[in-house]
Chain A
């Protein structure tokens, strides 16, 4: 965090709202994320907490009804998004590739894998000679057996796991510095998930790729990533190294979430979390978790908690830790 040159991706105070018939959904509420070069970061949260919206803002592929109200995104030192009072500056980032959740929907069913991959090699990587060779190499990198056959196949001829590898190959073919993986294994079986995660991990180590892995599974995050950001209802509630999050979860939400996960050791089933995520039309004024939190005080309902650094590199947005820490995060001022 000290050296600015080491930052691959920086998201500052990102707020994204969606305009719908009923009003304005205030989804992202001041997100701050930093990813170092070659670092794997997980963004963990439950359905509807804004994980995908965050990634889409980086890629510049937000839906038409999205409203950017504040935020700044830098990729490899280059500004790609800045919202100020008068205008919104936005451009497509270079060197960022995305792997989507559903490989069946991400691939065009009427073109062969080769035709789709060639386009990426030609236009995203800028290769004009030996295009096919580059494409087949990308397939081989993604550990696809018999790459030259797959090059001529249509997506329907491949299994789900292979399609996801093709999507990873396609992301790699663009020679990115950063990979954004949006729940890449949610649609896959557990044995295939294991293979795909190991592949992503190995590739990011070998090619020194920075990666944001969006997932709802803490187990996947722990086994794949160096650092974990826990999201709840459009806010980052806690982040730390994968080790610290599990050793010493601080935020009540993180604690309850970790406790909800059934264990292989067979300790029974925990209570879960009461209630549901807030209505984005009219989100809580203070901490967004306060209505479901057993420790909530009046302060929690009235003002947003800043991020407190409780131990080195371990930040939590919760008033419970107000006294225990003196240093607050520089980006903590959310107002």
Chain B
């Protein structure tokens, strides 16, 4: 498996009104995405999953850390990126109601990236847009419609077609279905998975919906307050969640069947509130809600521990007595 995107110790801080105080939206995260994988970044609001996505696309410049795309360093903003790179990495946003220009027709919306990247005009442009519409299974009479004449799910399909227009190989999907109803979500996800196979795409899928992720992704990273608390192969994380936060998330999902019920961890119950990212608790940020918190969790940041091949957990429960002082060593082991 070839690595297509490599994120190393990525940090993104935002300044606040108070001098010297930063919102640590993303704080030292590292992950690899393999070619033709669906890598899911899961987390609740304020966990930094969208910030990570935007930094990968280049909408934000990282505070520190590196992002590599096919071994090229791309840790800078989109304005400094070459056109070829922008064409390779595309994004689909959460709310199609606001990500499509309300005064432009579908032809103009999907046509924009085609004129920029492919220098298409006139008849050839229309032909290409029609091809894209066909790819997302929309009829050709949508060409001259405005976003307001189209339903929510179809708008999202237009946004997907627009992302596909420059023929990218990597697409960031930022909660593409969370604004839609489940019956429409199913259609969008089906389309996305089909396109992935047909066009050999790689997805970075941002979501808060663990049940959805279970069905589409190969690997998952779970974020909490700017940190990745656990990452690994999807089936392993669901069959044996290691981090207490992962367990709490899983136990909180409302499910439909007894089989699903059996998969939910029983010994943990959701308590407490998510702390503000401006004021992240010291030590392990999850200790305020963790039923297994010890003294060390309140003082020292937990190390990254590889508990199985490709499975990394950031928790003192797995550090086997090693404290934060050996953190650097652990990290070297894990990320090499």
Which residue numbers of A lie inside 8 Å of B, CB to CB? Answer: 46-47, 159, 161-162, 189-195, 197, 216-220, 222-223, 246, 256-258, 260-274, 276
Contacts and interface: CB of A to CB of B under 8 A. Distances in A.
B183 A262 contact: no
A230 B212 CA distance: 22
User: What DSSP secondary structure best describes chain B's contact surface?
Assistant: helix
Contacts of B234: 266
B182 A46 contact: yes
A264 B44 contact: no
B260 A192 contact: no
Nearest to A49: B181
A271 B183 CA distance: 8
Contacts of A276: 151, 153, 184
B215 A262 contact: yes
> Nearest 4 CB-CB pairs, A to B?
A219-B254, A272-B186, A194-B252, A189-B44
Interface residues of B, number: 44
Contacts of A222: 254-256
Interface string B237-269: 010000000001111111111011001100000
Contact of A260 (B186, B209, B259, B274): B186
A268 B193 CA distance: 11
Given A47-B181, A256-B183, A263 B273 contact: no
Residue from A159, A189, A191, A261 having most chain B Cβ neighbours under 10 A:
A191
Most buried by A among B212, B215, B264: B215
A263 B211 contact: yes
B186 A270 contact: yes
Contacts of A264: 210-211, 214, 238, 250, 253, 255, 260, 263-264
A194 B126 CA distance: 49
Given A264-B263, A264-B264, A269-B215, A192 B274 contact: yes
B89 to A, nearest CB: 25
A269 B182 CA distance: 11
B259 A265 contact: yes
Interface in B145-190: 151-153, 181-187, 189-190
A271 B190 contact: yes
Interface of B: 44-45, 151-153, 181-187, 189-190, 193, 208-212, 214-216, 234-235, 238, 248-257, 259-260, 263-264, 270-271, 273-274
A262 B209 contact: yes
A216 B181 contact: yes
Contacts of B208: 189-190
B215 A261 contact: no
Given A159-B274, A263-B214, A264-B260, A191 B252 contact: yes
A267 to B, nearest CB: 7
B96 to A, nearest CB: 14
Contacts of A272: 182-187, 190
B260 A265 contact: yes
A4 B269 CA distance: 39
Contact of B183 (A189, A192, A219, A273): A273
Given A195-B271, A272-B183, A220 B190 contact: no
A191 B43 CA distance: 11
B257 A191 contact: no
20 contacts: A190-B252, A191-B252, A194-B252, A195-B270, A195-B271, A216-B181, A217-B254, A218-B256, A256-B183, A261-B182, A262-B212, A262-B216, A265-B214, A266-B234, A266-B238, A269-B215, A269-B216, A272-B182, A273-B184, A276-B184
A159 B215 contact: no
A268 B234 CA distance: 13
Nearest to A264: B260
A293 to B, nearest CB: 13
Given A159-B273, A269-B186, A223 B216 contact: no
Contacts of B250: 264
A161 B274 CA distance: 9
A47 B264 CA distance: 28
Given A194-B251, A272-B187, 19 more contacts: A189-B44, A192-B270, A192-B273, A195-B271, A219-B253, A219-B256, A222-B255, A223-B254, A223-B255, A257-B183, A260-B183, A260-B186, A262-B186, A266-B215, A266-B238, A269-B189, A271-B187, A272-B183, A274-B187
Contacts of B184: 272-273, 276
Contacts of B185: 260, 272
B85 to A, nearest CB: 31
Contacts of B181: 46-47, 216
A189 B47 CA distance: 11
B215 A271 contact: no
B256 A266 contact: no
Given A159-B273, A260-B182, A263-B214, A269 B254 contact: no
A262 B210 CA distance: 9
Nearest to B187: A272
B168 to A, nearest CB: 22
B153 A262 contact: no
B274 A189 contact: yes
A98 to B, nearest CB: 22
Contact of A257 (B182, B235, B254): B182
Contacts of B183: 46, 256-257, 260, 272-273
A264 B254 CA distance: 10
A265 B212 CA distance: 10
Contacts of A190: 44, 208, 210, 249, 252-253
Nearest to B259: A265
A185 to B, nearest CB: 9
A246 B182 contact: no
B215 A263 contact: yes
B242 to A, nearest CB: 17
Nearest to B214: A266
